[in-house]
Chains A and B, each alone.
Chain A
Amino acid sequence: MKWNNVRLVFLREVRDQLRDRRTLFTIAVLPLLLYPLLGMIFLQIAQFMREHPTSILVLGAEALPEQPALLQGAAFAEQFVMPRDQGRLRLTIQPLDDAGSPSADARQRAQRVVQAGEFDAVVVFPADFAERLAEFHERPRDEHGAPRNADAADVIPQPEVFVNTASDKSRIAADRVERVLELWREAIVSDNLRQRNVPLAATQPFQVVNTDVAQERSRRAAAWSKILPFIVLVWALTGAFYPAIDLCAGEKERGTLETLLCSPAQRSEIVWGKLFTIMVFSMATSVFNLLCMALTSVFILGRIAHLDATAAPAAIGMPPWSAVVWLLLALAPIAALFSALALAIAAFARSSKEGQYYLMPLLLVTLPLMMLPLLPTAELDLGMSLIPVTGVMLLLRALIEGQYVEALRYAVPVIAVTAVCCLVAIRWAVEQFNNESVLFRESERWGLSLWLRHVIRDRHETPTISEAVLCGLLILMVRFFASFAVSMPDSWPRFVTVTVVSLISFVATPALLMAVVLTRSPAKTLLLQRPRWVTLPMAIALAIVIHPAGVTLSEVIRSLYPISPDVVQQLHAVESLLGRAPSLWSLLIVLALVPAICEELAFRGFILSGLRHSGHKWGAIVASSVFFGATHGILQQSLSAFALGLVLGYLAVQTRSLLPGLAFHAVYNALVLALAWNADGVHHWSGWDWLLTGTGETAGYRWPVVAMSILSTVGILVWFRGLPFQPTAEESLHEAVVRGERLAETPEM
């Protein structure tokens, strides 16, 4: 790849986009208009809420007690009106029996007036309000001061406020009236107490003092750490999508893509150039929106604070500078990921119109990933850090909140996952540019039966990449749903049934069925071929030799990313079940041999065979290992299973047979079980202490053994490397292209 060509493509695309009015509008003009507009509306509402006078009808004012007087002329007494409501309450006072009607009619009338909008709120005092209040006050009490006749609803007089909650004005009015009544009630209570010679403090025997340990800075950080990443990410995605469509689907539509494809620029150079362009626009959109939003909010918050000193929003303040810096740093990988995704999708689209259709699914997939970190329970742990977008957001949050140690621990998985996703998306985009059927795709009539017939009729010797991926996803999905349906077995025979049945029906059967239906040569697909006999003992030797290294790897993973207590409990339950196994042999058959057969058929058989059509041997091995790892329920196990999957995949590719891998897998599992069996303290074998150390949780190999293990593993893998390797047609082509291009380049150098 020549970076000069990438730069040329990049510069051209950027200039092209900048000449496009639509792009400039979405990136620059829209936020410039949008936020001030939103801000204005917000300000208007806030102003309205505060300043708009409300009209209130008071019914039954004649029934009010003399002291303390609620009304003062035609308004509420000044001492009961909060400063902010001062002068914003317009009262209309009418007697209850205005038309000589009983009080039931007064309620109806109040309802009618509020509904009709004649008044924003109505307060109705019952006709005998003052008397009942006095009666309540004079009522004989027991020694505890409680009324003897404790039919409360009957006794306590109730003024009623009528409000129409569907109307903002009415709600505001009711709030204001309630505030007034509240203050008035307090005045009445303190009057009562004074008359009975009870000190006012008796009503509040103690006060709760809230001491907030969060400092002003970290409080602001916590608030912003939830809002900012979300806004930034949403805009990064939107900012990536439209340029991506224009750069790929749009070019296809306008016919300029073929012009570019027959220039000497390589597909990867074109893709990288376009990717950088999309990234620039994605980041620019995000930053510009953030900037406009910040400016607007500074202005609005200032105005609100100016309007009313007690207003709450001003308390959030501006985000701390460190938060902004971290945010900008995190924006780059996120923008890269979104840009790569958008690019791949846009490259797949035939026209810009088709591209627009894909925005919704993309949003539907990524939005939950962005919402997940907003959950109160979401914390940065291994599981979360392995979820693409969520991990970055949580890491970002930890950084903004200043938890650097925690962030550092999970930075590696987060960055690794993001990088892998980016690379996969970029590769996918390059594939789209290489894929003739995508580049020159024409609309075809699509029908289910036509398509099914096509799948069966035009099937290949081994599965296609998409069939392999489908198989992997199918296995994952079935296992996921089955895990809800199947309860934890409580006895050894039941454990055997559950394990064996689920392995055979959820792992082996999908792969076998798909191999029979979708391929012309199931035997070749599932690698059911006899290997050179010497590979079998070598594979078994590899399993034995690699075991100490594998155990140590799992330990390292567990100590870095501890397993949660719930899961540990589950594991213990399983372990105690295993301890009840009648013999080691039955254990080995159920947990070593059966899984080896089923998993090898699926992951090294169907899935790896299909993925190898990608033309990249290691890419296929890694992808099949990801599926293999993902089927292991516990994350920490998945990581070590992934590493073993790489070795298993390599064995399958080098030996062209499933058997060596199967032998390796079975022996490796058997060793794990034997180690656990030995370490559980019941079945301890003596005489192995020179090799093993510890019991129970800490059981493992001594470190010289581990070092030896790594060395010999490398040695045996080198031996496997020496076996004659048979590339697929795509792999040979890829190799020929690499060689051909290199041959052509050398003389020119």
Chain B
Amino acid sequence: MIHVRRVTKSYVDLRRGQFVALASISFDARPGEIFGLLGPNGAGKTTMLRILSTVLQPTSGHASVNGFDVLTQPSQVRRHIGFVSANTAVYDRMTAWEMVEYFGRLHGLAEELLRERMEDLFSRLQMNEIRDVLGAKMSTGMKQKVSIARALVHDPPVLIFDEATAGLDVLVARALLKIVAELREQGKCIVFSTHIMREAERLCDRIAVLHRGHLLAEGTYAQLAERYGDSDLEEVFFRLISWHDAGDPAAADQVYALPKKV
């Protein structure tokens, strides 16, 4: 269960001064559903998810994960999430097994439970043949599998995937999407960010469109299609972004009004 209310993140930049990366973002993600964050590069998706993983702190606003505040209870939040991102690499000089074991132990899992979980994960993710392969020797797909196993080892109720399919070939990407869908069936609360429309369309129960730090629209695929009169998500996406960039106040009002209707 993720609860985000009016989260703002701004940086001080040497050239631009105050730079707003996230402007008053609010959304909720519930257990048993996949919440999609859709946005072009630089929209603020990674910033938002880093705030949820407590690596970044919001400038203002509140966010909580499973009832724990990201600002004041960061280690509790981290205990209850599994975070997979293009930025969370695997250790070069550790084997797949050691890597997952290490994070399991950091989560304080008992040795017996940890072993059981790992055997289960390694067979579910078909990782048994890379058990003793060092990170440096793995392909991108193998690394991503290790990352997922690392994020799942403590069986967290909340999972965050930040552009998790980036750089993967079709086969591995499909396998990953399948795993994500399975996790939804297990009742996990999943946040999935991507800039690929088809992934969002196929996988996400609800989608939020993020652009330049602003949340432009939020709803199920059907709701968005109905509201903007187009069944093509890509079209809807373009329309929202060009309205926003044109700075049309009427359109902007409409856009901001949307999330409340959901």
Which residues of chain A have a CB within 8 Å of any CB of chain B? 4-5, 8-9, 12, 15-16, 19-20, 254-256, 258-259, 261-266, 436-437, 439-440, 444-446, 450-451, 454, 457-458, 733, 736-737, 739-741, 743-744
Cβ of A740 and Cβ of B72 under 8 Å apart? yes
CB of B75 within 8 Å of the partner chain: yes
* A9, A263, A436, A743 pick with most chain B CB within 10 angstroms: A263
Cβ of B78 and Cβ of A256 under 8 Å apart? no
CB of B246 within 8 Å of the partner chain: no
**By the criterion of a CB under 8 Å from any partner CB, how many residues of chain B are at the interface?**
41
Cβ of A445 and Cβ of B85 under 8 Å apart? no
Q: Which residues of A contact B71 (CB under 8 A)?
A: 733, 736-737, 740
Chain A min CB distance to B49 (Å): 10
Task: Give B160's nearest chain A residue, CB to CB.
Answer: A262
Cβ of A445 and Cβ of B76 under 8 Å apart? no
The residue that B89 contacts in the complex, of A5, A254, A733, with Cβ under 8 A, is A254
CB of B256 within 8 Å of the partner chain: no
Q: How far is the CA of A16 from the CA of B99 in the complex (A)?
A: 11
Q: Which residues of A contact B94 (CB under 8 A)?
A: 12, 15-16
Q: How far is the CA of A265 from the CA of B85 in the complex (A)?
A: 18
Number of A-B contacts (CB under 8 A): 102
Given A256-B90, A451-B14, A741-B73, do A262 and B55 touch, yes or no (CB 8 Å)?
yes
29 A/B residue pairs, CB under 8 Å, sorted by A = A5-B106, A8-B105, A16-B93, A19-B93, A254-B91, A255-B87, A259-B89, A259-B90, A262-B83, A262-B88, A263-B78, A263-B107, A264-B75, A264-B79, A436-B57, A446-B14, A450-B14, A454-B14, A458-B17, A733-B72, A736-B72, A739-B72, A740-B69, A740-B71, A740-B72, A740-B73, A741-B74, A744-B68, A744-B73
Given A16-B94, A739-B72, do A262 and B78 touch, yes or no (CB 8 Å)?
yes
Cβ of B89 and Cβ of A255 under 8 Å apart? yes
Q: How far is the CA of A261 from the CA of B85 in the complex (A)?
A: 13
Task: Give A455's nearest chain B residue, CB to CB.
Answer: B14
Q: Which residues of A contact B69 (CB under 8 A)?
A: 740
Q: Which residues of B contact A20 (CB under 8 A)?
A: 93
Q: Which residues of A contact B75 (CB under 8 A)?
A: 264-266, 741, 744
CB of B56 within 8 Å of the partner chain: yes
8 tightest A-B CB contacts, nearest first: A740-B72, A255-B89, A740-B73, A259-B88, A744-B76, A19-B93, A736-B72, A262-B53
Task: Give A16's nearest chain B residue, CB to CB.
Answer: B93
The residue that A445 contacts in the complex, of B14, B55, B92, B93, with Cβ under 8 A, is B14
Chain A min CB distance to B177 (Å): 22
Q: Which residues of B contact A444 (CB under 8 A)?
A: 13-15
Task: Give A451's nearest chain B residue, CB to CB.
Answer: B14
CB of B139 within 8 Å of the partner chain: no
Task: Give B49's nearest chain A residue, CB to CB.
Answer: A262
Given A8-B102, A8-B105, A255-B89, do A457 and B72 touch, yes or no (CB 8 Å)?
no
Cβ of A737 and Cβ of B15 under 8 Å apart? no
Other CB < 8 Å A-B pairs besides A8-B105, A16-B93, A740-B68, 6 of them?
A8-B106, A256-B88, A258-B55, A258-B87, A263-B78, A436-B57
Given A454-B12, A458-B12, do A258 and B93 touch, yes or no (CB 8 Å)?
no
Q: How far is the CA of A321 from the CA of B71 in the complex (A)?
A: 54
Q: Which residues of B contact A457 (CB under 8 A)?
A: 17
Given A264-B79, A457-B17, do A743 and B73 touch, yes or no (CB 8 Å)?
yes
Cβ of B150 and Cβ of A259 under 8 Å apart? yes
Cβ of A256 and Cβ of B89 under 8 Å apart? yes
The residue that A741 contacts in the complex, of B76, B88, B107, with Cβ under 8 A, is B76
* A16, A19, A264, A740 pick with most chain B CB within 10 angstroms: A264
CB of B103 within 8 Å of the partner chain: yes
Cβ of A445 and Cβ of B15 under 8 Å apart? yes
Cβ of A264 and Cβ of B89 under 8 Å apart? no
Cβ of A454 and Cβ of B103 under 8 Å apart? no
Which residues of chain B have a CB within 8 Å of any CB of chain A? 11-15, 17-18, 53-57, 68-69, 71-76, 78-79, 81, 83, 85, 87-94, 102-103, 105-108, 147, 150
Q: Which residues of B contact A446 (CB under 8 A)?
A: 14
Chain B min CB distance to A124 (Å): 70
Q: How far is the CA of A437 from the CA of B9 in the complex (A)?
A: 13
Q: Which residues of B contact A265 (CB under 8 A)?
A: 75, 106
Chain A min CB distance to B74 (Å): 7
Chain A min CB distance to B118 (Å): 16
Chain A min CB distance to B113 (Å): 16
Cβ of B73 and Cβ of A264 under 8 Å apart? no
Q: How far is the CA of A575 from the CA of B136 in the complex (A)?
A: 72
Q: How far is the CA of A261 from the CA of B106 in the complex (A)?
A: 11
* A259, A440, A737 pick with most chain B CB within 10 angstroms: A259
Chain A min CB distance to B92 (Å): 6
Cβ of B93 and Cβ of A261 under 8 Å apart? no
The residue that B88 contacts in the complex, of A5, A16, A258, A458, with Cβ under 8 A, is A258
* B17, B55, B85 pick with most chain A CB within 10 angstroms: B55
Q: Which residues of A contact B103 (CB under 8 A)?
A: 263
Q: Which residues of A contact B55 (CB under 8 A)?
A: 258, 261-262, 436, 439
Task: Give A20's nearest chain B residue, CB to CB.
Answer: B93
Q: How far is the CA of A254 from the CA of B108 in the complex (A)?
A: 25
Q: How far is the CA of A9 from the CA of B91 in the complex (A)?
A: 13
Q: How far is the CA of A16 from the CA of B91 in the complex (A)?
A: 9
Q: Which residues of B contact A259 (CB under 8 A)?
A: 88-90, 147, 150
Q: Which residues of A contact B57 (CB under 8 A)?
A: 436
Q: How far is the CA of A571 from the CA of B71 in the complex (A)?
A: 54
Task: Give B55's nearest chain A residue, CB to CB.
Answer: A261
Q: Which residues of A contact B107 (CB under 8 A)?
A: 263-264
Chain A min CB distance to B132 (Å): 13
Task: Give A259's nearest chain B residue, CB to CB.
Answer: B88
Q: How far is the CA of A259 from the CA of B89 in the complex (A)?
A: 7
Q: Which residues of A contact B11 (CB under 8 A)?
A: 437
Task: Give A434's nearest chain B residue, CB to CB.
Answer: B57
Given A5-B106, A264-B78, A740-B72, do A254 and B15 touch, yes or no (CB 8 Å)?
no
Task: Give A265's nearest chain B residue, CB to CB.
Answer: B106
The residue that B92 contacts in the complex, of A8, A254, A263, A436, with Cβ under 8 A, is A254
Q: How far is the CA of A741 from the CA of B15 in the complex (A)?
A: 37
Q: Which residues of A contact B68 (CB under 8 A)?
A: 740, 744
Chain A min CB distance to B190 (Å): 16
Q: How far is the CA of A69 from the CA of B150 in the complex (A)?
A: 92
Chain A min CB distance to B195 (Å): 20
Q: Which residues of A contact B76 (CB under 8 A)?
A: 740-741, 744
Q: How far is the CA of A457 from the CA of B16 in the complex (A)?
A: 10
The residue that B74 contacts in the complex, of A9, A258, A439, A737, with Cβ under 8 A, is A737
Task: Give B13's nearest chain A residue, CB to CB.
Answer: A444
* B53, B56, B106 pick with most chain A CB within 10 angstroms: B106
Chain A min CB distance to B19 (Å): 11
* A16, A437, A451 pick with most chain B CB within 10 angstroms: A16
Task: Give B72's nearest chain A residue, CB to CB.
Answer: A740
Q: How far is the CA of A198 from the CA of B57 in the complex (A)?
A: 98
Q: How far is the CA of A261 from the CA of B77 in the complex (A)?
A: 12
Task: Give A7's nearest chain B residue, CB to CB.
Answer: B105
Q: How far is the CA of A736 from the CA of B70 in the complex (A)?
A: 11
Q: How far is the CA of A12 from the CA of B102 in the complex (A)?
A: 8
Q: Which residues of A contact B92 (CB under 8 A)?
A: 254
Q: Which residues of A contact B14 (CB under 8 A)?
A: 444-446, 450-451, 454
Task: Give A11's nearest chain B residue, CB to CB.
Answer: B102
Q: How far is the CA of A733 from the CA of B57 in the complex (A)?
A: 11
Cβ of B108 and Cβ of A264 under 8 Å apart? yes
The residue that A262 contacts in the complex, of B12, B81, B102, B108, with Cβ under 8 A, is B81
* A437, A733, A737 pick with most chain B CB within 10 angstroms: A737
Chain A min CB distance to B51 (Å): 10
Given A16-B91, A457-B17, do A264 and B150 touch, yes or no (CB 8 Å)?
no
Q: Which residues of A contact B18 (CB under 8 A)?
A: 458
Q: How far is the CA of A646 from the CA of B87 in the complex (A)?
A: 44
Chain B min CB distance to A452 (Å): 10
Q: How far is the CA of A255 from the CA of B56 in the complex (A)?
A: 16
Q: Which residues of A contact B54 (CB under 8 A)?
A: 262
Task: Give B83's nearest chain A residue, CB to CB.
Answer: A262
